[in-house]
Amino acid sequence: MTAAVTATGYIQHHLTNAQMCMADGGIAFNHACADAGFWTWHIDSLLFSVGLGVFFLAIFYMVGQKATTGVPGKLQCLVEMTIEFIDNSVKGSFHGRSSEAVAPLALTLFVWILLMNSFDLIPVDFVPEAALRILGVPYLKIVPTTDLNITFGLSLSVFAMIVFYSIKIKGLSGFVKELTFQPFNHWTMIPFNLVLELVTLIAKPISLALRLFGNLYAGELIFILIALTPWWTQSALYVPWAIFHILVIFLQAFIFMMLSVVYLSMAHEDH
């Protein structure tokens, strides 16, 4: 990269998002957004995550429109296998009364996160260098799940559904009683129960977000470190790590999806 001279600068450059904010009445980018705080947009994470989401919906919609009962094509087989895999996973883990929204959510989470994670296999300099030379964009991170904002956005969506179904199934009073009378069913233990249950509840979205972010961020960092090695050793290091990382990419999407289903199943339990 032109903007990265030293090894430290190279690493920092690749770990910096393309940022946009409002400053001094106009649109500013990256270094000018240092004081913007919460109101800074990571436009590369938004671009790639939304783009992959639209791609996922378009592919599944197209296959659904062209699905045939005869000999299916390869793409239809792949989509049907994915749906069947998610359906069986949900049936084995979800024990609530109704899973009408849970199965589509699980499918969306799994495929969307898998697509975002898979961008980690693209050589670290390939897309950013092209963006710099063609568009003049100095910073570009192409793996949305290495951005904590994206993983927290996904986990907070799941958390909102957990709270929604907890209130819908148990009622507001039942949800409050669950937080105040568990695990010790006595009024004197309400403060202790409330602290314990709130920590348990809030830990769910935090653990979901940090687990996905941490694994993909670490994997991306290793790819960046490999890119710093001499060119004649990069293939020998990149290929084995990429093969192993395929497992990480799949597992992290699966774990996020399965934990979301389990948490929603727990929300449907009526004590």
- Tokens representing residue 56 in the block: 């996922």
| Residues taking part in catalysis | 207, 211, 215
Residue 236 in tokens: 């020998």
Give start and end residues of each alpha helix (H) in the chain. 7-14, 43-66, 74-93, 102-118, 126-135, 148-180, 190-227, 231-267
Q: Which two tokens stand for residue 67?
A: 């699905």
Pairing of strands 19-23, 41-42: antiparallel
| DSSP letters spanning 190-203 | HHHHHHHHHHHHHH
φ and ψ of 140, to 5 deg: -165, 115
Helix ranges restricted to H, 67-147:
74-93, 102-118, 126-135
* C-alpha–C-alpha distance, residues 37 and 21, integer Å: 9
- Token look-up 């710099």 returns 132
What are residue 19's DSSP bridge partners? 42
In whole angstroms, give the CA distance from residue 83 to residue 58. 15
Whole-angstrom distance, CA of residue 136 vs CA of residue 113: 29
Cα separation, 252 vs 255, in Å, equals 5
Which whole-number Å values give the CA distances from 195 to 150, 184, 189, 224, in the listed order?
28, 12, 10, 42
CA distance 185 to 191: 12
